[in-house]
Amino acid sequence: MDKNRNYLLPLAIWAIILIVFNVLVFMFSEAEGRTGTFWCSYVFTMLAILLQPAITWVVFGRGQQKRQSVFLGLPILRFMVIYFIVQLIVGTVFMVFSKIDVKIAVAAQLVLLAIAIIACVAALQVRNYAEQVADKVKPKTFYIRSLAADVRAMESRANDPALKQALHGLVESIEYSDPMSHDSLFALEQKIESNVAYLGQLLAQGDIQQANGMIKELNLLLGERNQKTKLLK
């Protein structure tokens, strides 16, 4: 329901703008001044208004879009609003000076519309590409985030100050590790993951000495992983 409001609110705003625009245009324009230039400018400006809810629908996707997708689509909305403002100014000028050659009016506003459509399509392509990259990266970065969460939980449960400090250092080592994984690192990452699980067992048993030794080993393994990750880039 909340996501639907994200689309319905802009739709209501543009509906109000549409009504106000039409009222003002026909209130202040004279019938004899409604030339071909006037009507083509009116049509282009109406189109600029009607494109806004259409683009908003594309960005918010009937409330089914992911939050990331909506965020990446915000520049598209901003650009289309700029196009509307420019078209409104240009269209108003041509409607006021309606004796200007209709060919000039059509050409100028057609160029504006073409620029807006090209920029919008390009921005949508960039958004789609960014989403594809994010979808590929997310599973590969989950490994590091999961390890950091596990060790952070161990740190919060530790009572010994020295051990707590060592665990905090291990958390930082994990967090500053390269987040990207690779198939060739599978064996090494499995070893790190199993050692982290064993570290949890040692802490549960209260074996601080072996736990400290395991923390040192994990730091070495993380360093080895970072070196190999660099070589894979």
Which residue, 87, 105, 137, sits at the end of a domain? 137
Q: pLDDT band for 103, please (50, 70, 90 cuts).
A: very high
Same domain, 63 and 10: yes
Residues 191 and 196: their CA atoms lie apart, in Å, by 9
Which residue, 80, 102, 137, sits at the end of a domain? 137
More confident residue, 175 or 21: 21
Q: Give me the chain's average pLDDT, please.
A: 84
Q: How many Cα atoms sit within 13 Å of 160 on the Cβ side?
A: 13
Residues 106 and 85: their CA atoms lie apart, in Å, by 17
Min mean pLDDT across 19-28, 59-68, 117-126, 170-179 is at 59-68
Q: pLDDT band for 20, please (50, 70, 90 cuts).
A: very high
Residues 120 and 128: their CA atoms lie apart, in Å, by 12
Residue 227 forms part of a structural domain: yes
- CB 60, CB 3: distance < 8 Å: yes
How many domains does the chain contain in total?
A: 2
Question: Which structural domain, as residue segments, surrounds residue 170?
Answer: 158-231
Q: Which two tokens stand for residue 33?
A: 């001044």
Residue 64 has pLDDT above 50, yes or no: no
Same domain, 185 and 113: no
More confident residue, 11 or 156: 156
Residue 67 has pLDDT above 70, yes or no: no
* Averaged pLDDT for residues 63-81: 64
* Averaged pLDDT for residues 165-170: 92
| This prediction's pTM | 0.58
- CB 59, CB 78: distance < 8 Å: no
More confident residue, 167 or 3: 167
